[in-house]
Amino acid sequence: MENTLQIVPRSVGLIMDGNGRWAKQHDLSRTDGHTKGIYHMISLVAHMFSRGVKNVICYGLSTENLERPKEEIEHIYQLMIDVFDLFVTTFSEIQASVKYIGKLNALPEFVRNSMLRSEDALRKFASSGKTIYIGVAYGSRHEIIDAINAAIQRGESVTEESFLASLSMPLEPELIIRTGGEQRLSNFLLYQASYSELYFSPKLFPAFTEEDLDEALAWYQSRQRRFGLIS
Ligand code: IPE
Ligand code: IPE
Ligand code: MG
């Protein structure tokens, strides 16, 4: 589809929910659902860049998700290392860089190494203006508490601006899209989402298409953002 958008959000958060239910609907295992979902993420992110979005912040795995059965989490780790390596080819073509946010020391070393490999390989595109951020073992509460403790240790008081800048995700997405039908943030960007437009799709993540994404971007254009003022 042709890009006819007049107003494009600079940063978009993506809560990729519904892999397990999608798998169940297709008589597959939850792990198959994650495989489908994680590869699907790459094409959706590339599509957002083609529409003019500069930063895509994907919620890959929450701190709470780490408490899921070991078999599911280990499968996700395995998938991640394959996909993070694939990022290097895909995102080199479109000249985008990648950054990981979250409680990374909670992850096994082989996952962290794969993150470093892809971050390093794509660092040369950091000035291109296109970045994909992936939250892995990410939790907004944890991110906030870490930033508070760091400020206490420095003996500094904070302002709204300096606090935002000290978070692992200092961007405030204009738009957050959540697939899978739930209408909540589930510990994603609690501070940064103060004025985000929230778009909830009933579609399960693997079934959320590029056309659905275009609909979300078109919906964003129709929003009137008041930031507490009057129009
Ligand atoms: C989202 O899909 C991916 C992760 C949280 C890792 P889910 O695994 O939560 O899928 P549902 O919500 O059970 O369908
Ligand atoms: C949110 O989905 C986390 C990710 C998509 C990574 P969950 O499936 O964990 O959220 P809840 O449990 O429905 O709130
Ligand atoms: Mg879920």
Residue 231 lies in a domain: no
Q: Which ligand is in closest contact with the Cα of 139?
A: 2
Exposed / middle / buried, residue 183 (Cβ in 10 Å: 0-12, 13-18, 19+): exposed
Q: Could you please report the per-residue DSSP string of 16-84?
A: ---HHHHHHHTT--HHHHHHHHHHHHHHHHHHHHHTT--EEEEEEEETGGGGS-HHHHHHHHHHHHHHH
Residue 55 lies in a domain: yes
pLDDT exceeds cutoff 90 at 170: yes
β-sheet bridge partners, residue 175: 12, 197
pLDDT exceeds cutoff 90 at 2: no
Residue 155 lies in a domain: yes
Residue 89 lies in a domain: yes
In the structure, what pLDDT confidence band is assigned to residue 116 with cuts at 50, 70 and 90? Answer: very high
* Mutation choice for ligand 1 from 14, 15, 16, 21, CB with most ligand atoms inside 8 A: 21
Q: Which ligand is in closest contact with the Cα of 18?
A: 1
The 10s digit of each residue's pLDDT in 7-21 is: 999 999 999 999 999
* Nearest of 174, 219, 221, 226 to residue 201 by alpha carbon: 219
The 10s digit of each residue's pLDDT in 42-85 is: 999 999 999 999 999 999 999 999 999 999 999 999 999 999 99
- Supply the mean pLDDT for the chain: 97
In the structure, what pLDDT confidence band is assigned to residue 155 with cuts at 50, 70 and 90? Answer: very high
Ligand 1 near 19 CB (within 6 A)? yes
Give nearest CA residue, ligand 1 atom 12: 18
Please report the atom of ligand 2 found closest to the CA of residue 205: 5
Q: Residue 109 Cα, ligand 2 centroid: separation in angstroms?
A: 24
Residue 86 lies in a domain: yes
pLDDT exceeds cutoff 80 at 1: no
Calculate the dihedral angle through the C-alpha atoms of 188, 46, 18, 100, rounding to the nearest 10 degrees. -40
- The total domain count for the chain is 1
Please tell me which residue in 55, 65, 187, 214 is annotated as part of the active site. Answer: 65
The amino acid occupying position 65 is N
Query: What's the pTM?
Result: 0.97
pLDDT of residue 3: 79
| Average pLDDT of the segment spanning 122-138 | 97
Residue 228 lies in a domain: no
The 10s digit of each residue's pLDDT in 85-108 is: 999 999 999 999 999 999 999 999
Please tell me which residue in 17, 19, 187, 214 is annotated as part of the active site. Answer: 17
Distance CA 139, CA 152 (A): 20
Q: Which ligand is in closest contact with the Cα of 135?
A: 2
In the structure, what pLDDT confidence band is assigned to residue 231 with cuts at 50, 70 and 90? Answer: confident
pLDDT of residue 62: 98
Ligand 1 near 216 CB (within 6 A)? no
* Mutation choice for ligand 2 from 182, 190, 198, CB with most ligand atoms inside 8 A: 182
Asked about 17 being catalytic, the answer comes back as yes
State how beta strands 11-15 and 97-101 pair.
Answer: unpaired
Q: Spell out a b/e string for 128-150, using b for 16 or more CB atoms within 10 Å of the CB, else e.
A: eebbbbbbbbbbbebbeeebeee
The 10s digit of each residue's pLDDT in 174-226 is: 999 999 999 999 999 999 999 999 999 999 999 999 999 999 999 999 999 99
CATH number (domain holding residue 106): 3.40.1180.10
**Which tokens sit at 206?**
């693997």
Residue 15 lies in a domain: yes
| Average pLDDT of the segment spanning 36-42 | 98
Q: Can you list the alpha helix ranges (DSSP code H) found in the chain?
A: 19-25, 30-50, 70-93, 109-122, 140-154, 160-166, 210-221
pLDDT of residue 26: 98
pLDDT of residue 133: 98
β-sheet bridge partners, residue 62: 138
**Which tokens sit at 194?**
């103060």
In which domain, by residue range, is 159 found? 11-222
Binding-site residues, ligand 2, Cβ < 6 A: 15-17, 59-62, 65, 182, 184, 186
Ligand 1 near 168 CB (within 6 A)? no
Ligand 1 near 189 CB (within 6 A)? no
Give percent above pLDDT 90 in the chain: 97
Residue 41 lies in a domain: yes
pLDDT of residue 219: 98
